[in-house]
């Protein structure tokens, strides 16, 4: 039975949702719908859009915002907080290890081929110590709930996890339209995230930095799908938003072109894929790179966040081994469980997946955004047959998981308040210390029965409340 987060099977509202239930009853559906339309107008006026490419027409879409918050109790968050910190710490330990001694590989806990043959692994990073030994400075962990006390990690995002700007704007809009909901101070704030991100980035200034570090956000430009987030975070942190042509390398340092002349840059929060960051070291055809910047990074003249090569830790084939990482590096049992996963690279797993395609969710190892996946129970026989051919052609490119019965949360629909499936992405910051604001981005599958929450696939977002204890 699907776990409905607002009420138990007998219809009794759960304790964390009682203030929400009172608010819904007092406000009424008509006013909620009116406020929902106002929220949409605010999103559109501010320009909070998400670009979807490869389709006809205007790719810029407004992300649907559901006005009914999702709620976690203080006790629920306490457990999530510990699990998120634990997992983020282990992922960074893994990254340091595979670019140095490779002890977890020699111990046989992670197959060497998964690392050394992975496109995200960068041999250029071998032996290099990034500042603070931190590789993934912002870790977004996708979490699903399948019961009152059952949380599972669906996947890890260690390169450039997106969505934090929507977490912040969702809260801003809710506070603007319903200030009375927050008047009692019962909801933990999330607005400290930009300051926490700024502190984290500054803590990891390179060895060559003298004095207060200069931090910038590096964006591919306004045509990138997450450009709003890039500009939003730069503005909130009070730092410059730069494009590749704004930066250059000279005398072993990175400089920013300004109207007052060149200004030295110490820390770069990059939102450009590793392959494109430096045409002299990676893709020579890149028009987004800064020639020589990787050499400056290796020499300690600038810090790149997150570190090139961090993507190996969020590969879906590596995900299977994160519980072993936690035990190996931290000597602890995982607080948050993995979802059972079959690796098609293993012949016995592949045979199982092909025999049970109608029951499983199959994903590309390097896929993201909900693209390239098969939800077996919802697919047609023809779609499953076509997907089976893809698996047989390249088994190592796929993993499979059971079709989880994701929890549902109350959502405003045309027919009224109804349950819709949700997931959760918190954003963990790693610098000289680990920082985690009490909250994250809740994504909601707005279509009835749908399990796909990705914005690129028609999903929406919600404000996420963590109640004070």
Provide the total of helices (H) and of strands (E) in the chain, helices listed first: 14, 23
> Per-residue pLDDT for the chain (469 aa), expressed as one digit of tens each?
899 999 999 999 999 999 999 999 999 999 999 999 999 888 888 777 655 444 444 455 678 899 999 999 999 999 999 999 999 999 999 999 999 999 999 999 999 999 999 989 999 999 999 999 999 999 999 999 999 999 999 999 999 899 999 999 999 999 999 999 998 889 999 999 999 999 999 999 999 998 999 999 999 999 888 899 999 999 999 999 999 999 999 999 999 999 999 999 999 999 999 999 999 999 999 989 999 999 999 999 999 999 999 999 988 889 999 999 999 999 999 999 999 999 999 999 999 999 999 999 999 887 655 567 898 888 999 999 999 999 999 998 999 999 888 999 999 999 999 999 999 999 999 999 999 999 999 999 998 888 878 766 678 999 999 999 8
Burial state string for 37-52 with b = 16 or more CB within 10 A and e = fewer than 16: eebbebbeeeebbbbb
Return the pLDDT at 55: 44
The edge-to-edge listing of strands for the beta sheet with 247-250 is: 247-250, 253-256, 263-265
Return the pLDDT at 53: 44
3-state DSSP of 84-152: HHHHHHHHHHHHHHHCCCCHHHHCCCCCHHHHHCCCCCCHHHCCCCCHHHCCCCEEEEEEEEEECCEEE
SS3 230: helix
Q: Of 373, 364, 371, give the one whose Cα is nearest residue 316.
A: 364
SS3 377: helix
State if pTM tops 0.85.
yes
CA pair distance 291, 145, nearest whole angstrom: 45
Return the pLDDT at 60: 59
CA pair distance 253, 367, nearest whole angstrom: 35
Return the pLDDT at 63: 82
CA pair distance 375, 258, nearest whole angstrom: 50
Cβ count within 10 A of residue 416: 11
Q: Would you give the DSSP letter of residue 336?
A: S
Helix axes 381-393, 347-355, angle to 10 degrees: 170
**CA 74 to chain CA centroid, nearest Å:** 22
Cβ atoms of 98 and 315 within 8 Å: the answer is no
Q: What share of the chain is helix, strand, coil (3-state, %, to 5)?
A: 35, 25, 40
Site of tokens 């969702």: 170
Return the pLDDT at 404: 86
Q: What angle do CA 201, 206, 211 make, to 5 degrees?
A: 85
CA pair distance 417, 298, nearest whole angstrom: 54
Q: Of 143, 159, 19, give the one whose Cα is nearest residue 81.
A: 143
CA pair distance 164, 440, nearest whole angstrom: 7
3-state DSSP of 32-97: HHHHHHHHHHHHHHHCCEEECCCCCCCCEEECCEEEEEEEECHHHHHHHHHHHHHHHHHHHHHHHH
379 φ/ψ sector (left φ>0, alpha ψ -120 to 50, else beta): beta
Structural domains in the chain? Answer: 15-121+139-190+315-334+414-466 (no CATH), 340-402 (3.30.1490.270)
């Amino acid at each position: 039975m699907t776990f409905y987060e607002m009420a138990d099977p007998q219809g009794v509202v759960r304790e964390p949702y009682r203030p929400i239930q009172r608010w819904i009853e007092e406000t009424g559906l008509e006013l909620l719908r009116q406020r929902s339309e106002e929220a949409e107008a605010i999103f559109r006026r501010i320009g909070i859009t998400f670009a979807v490419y490869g389709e006809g027409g205007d790719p810029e879409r407004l992300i649907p915002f559901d006005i009914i918050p999702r709620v976690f109790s203080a006790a629920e968050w306490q457990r999530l907080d510990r699990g998120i910190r634990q997992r983020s710490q282990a992922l960074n330990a893994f990254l340091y290890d595979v670019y140095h001694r490779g002890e977890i590989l020699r111990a046989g806990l992670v197959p060497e081929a998964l690392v050394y043959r992975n496109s995200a692994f960068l041999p250029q990073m071998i032996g290099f110590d990034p500042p603070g030994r931190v590789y993934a400075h912002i870790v977004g962990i996708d979490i699903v709930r399948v019961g009152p006390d059952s949380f599972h990690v669906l996947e890890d995002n260690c390169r450039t996890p997106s969505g934090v700007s929507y977490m912040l704007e969702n809260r801003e809009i809710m506070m603007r339209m319903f200030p009375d909901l927050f008047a009692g101070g019962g909801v933990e704030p999330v607005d400290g995230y930009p300051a926490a991100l700024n502190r984290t980035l500054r803590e990891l200034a390179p060895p060559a930095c003298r004095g207060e570090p200069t931090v910038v956000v590096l964006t591919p430009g306004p045509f990138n799908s997450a450009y709003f987030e890039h500009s939003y975070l730069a503005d909130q942190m009070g730092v410059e938003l730069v494009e590749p042509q704004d930066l250059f390398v000279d005398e072993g340092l990175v400089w920013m072109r300004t109207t007052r002349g060149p200004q030295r840059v110490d820390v770069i929060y990059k939102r450009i894929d590793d392959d494109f960051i430096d045409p002299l070291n990676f893709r020579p055809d890149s028009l987004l790179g800064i020639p020589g910047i990787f050499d400056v990074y290796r020499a300690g003249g600038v810090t790149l966040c997150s570190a090139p090569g961090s993507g190996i830790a969020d590969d879906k084939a590596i995900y299977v081994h994160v519980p072993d990482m936690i035990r190996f590096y931290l000597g602890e049992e995982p607080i948050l469980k993995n979802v059972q996963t079959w690796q098609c690279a293993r012949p016995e797993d592949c045979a199982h997946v092909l025999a049970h395609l109608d029951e499983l969710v199959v994903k590309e190892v390097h896929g993201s955004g909900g693209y390239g996946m098969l939800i077996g129970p919802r697919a047609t026989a023809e779609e499953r047959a076509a997907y089976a051919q893809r698996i047989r052609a390249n088994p190592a490119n796929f993993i499979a998981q059971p079709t989880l019965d994701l929890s549902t949360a109350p959502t405003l629909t045309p027919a009224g308040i109804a349950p819709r499936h949700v997931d959760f992405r918190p954003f963990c910051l790693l610098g000289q210390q680990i920082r985690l604001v009490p909250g994250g981005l809740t994504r909601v599958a707005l279509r009835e029965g749908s399990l796909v929450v990705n914005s690129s696939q028609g999903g929406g977002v919600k404000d996420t409340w963590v109640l004070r204890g």
